[in-house]
Structure 1
């Protein structure tokens, strides 16, 4: 069974809130990958970088993934205007398991990683509420892993510890305490924002 050692005080997180709070944050602090390589779409030299912290069991994160992210991708990422980084911030052990599976399937392939997280978000009700192990195993097999590889992945304490270290950095340094949380060139946005709210933040940065 996976240990919760190192996960950043999961029980102490504040409830998810529908708020948008802009806070100044060092872009250099946000840009720093701690333990795991960043999974990112879009050019490294894009004028705007968006970093999302999400939990795979967070319903607001799933709603954002389905309703808002596709518009950001088509309008800004696919056109080379924005670099989009997704970072794990698991609020519970099931979310950590989902993040671990995504990493094991994708390895260093960011496009595959985003495809797997999209699948996990869209099937969230199936694997979070019930049949967690069975559903994660099925998703892993669909992505090309064997059952043994899925089981090995979900028991990988070293991978869990790296996810925990990244989460601790986000909590301690960036003051992330709920999901989803976004940083747009270092400016923090808390909560499930609309596409229009993102556009209002992104467009002026593209003109500067």
Structure 2
């Protein structure tokens, strides 16, 4: 079965149209991509050019970091609530690093969270992402799909969006399909098998303590 069908097809969930995830993906909070998330992509024919890269920092920064993360991954939440803030202060805000954030979809809540984060566009994305990670232990474990989505809607409302706008984003089946194809293309292209993972100036790195992260960046800056 096509991976996009595992994410998008199957059964309807109230308020989410007919594209809810079916089953058999890994549980929320997984850090290693397994099962259906490892299925070979068959979405090469999907045009993903409409998906915007979410990035922070100077486009001409000497170091570019691509982060692969899932909104349902606890290790990703820990990174964003700790090391990421140091990274932003020391390297991104000072023009030394450009950070590109790419979502990984372990499960349907991760996809829904991505669609809510992207609902506000580039301007609001990272602020909403921060709220999503801060509240991960609540919304991601809310139980039924409708409860999870309501938790995400609440975060969207905190970011200044109304329910009509949020529902339109969550029910955009074409956008969901395109996001899944985009995610698959990027993840497979960079051989990402766990989250968070980082591509630092073209070299893949796994999660690590901030001191080690800093040492790798400094080496690139000195090189």
- TM-score bracket, normalised by the shorter chain, equals 0.7 to 0.9
Q: Would you identify which runs of 4 or more consecutive aligned residues in structure 1 move more than 3 Å?
A: none
2:222 matched residue in structure 1 = 207
1:16 matched residue in structure 2 = 31
- The answer to whether the Cα contact below 8 Å between 1:3 and 1:157 also exists between their aligned partners in 2 is no
- TM-score calculated relative to the size of structure 2: 0.76
- The answer to whether the Cα contact below 8 Å between 2:116 and 2:153 also exists between their aligned partners in 1 is no
Matched, 1:119 2:134: no
Q: How does 1:56-205 map to 2 (within 5 A)?
A: 56-105=71-120, 107-109=121-123, 112-130=124-142, 131-190=147-206, 192-205=207-220
Matched, 1:47 2:62: yes
Structure 1 residue runs without a partner (length 5+):
18-32
- The answer to whether the Cα contact below 8 Å between 1:55 and 1:88 also exists between their aligned partners in 2 is yes
Number of residue pairs the alignment of both structures matches: 184
Greater relative contact order, per chain length (Cα 8 Å cut-off, separation 6+): 1
User: How big is the shift at 1:4?
Assistant: 4.2
CA distance in 1, matches of 2:164, 2:171: 11
CA distance in 1, matches of 2:181, 2:50: 7
- TM-score calculated relative to the size of structure 1: 0.82
Aligned CA RMSD, in angstroms, stands at 2.0
Structure 2 residue runs without a partner (length 5+):
1-11, 13-18, 33-47
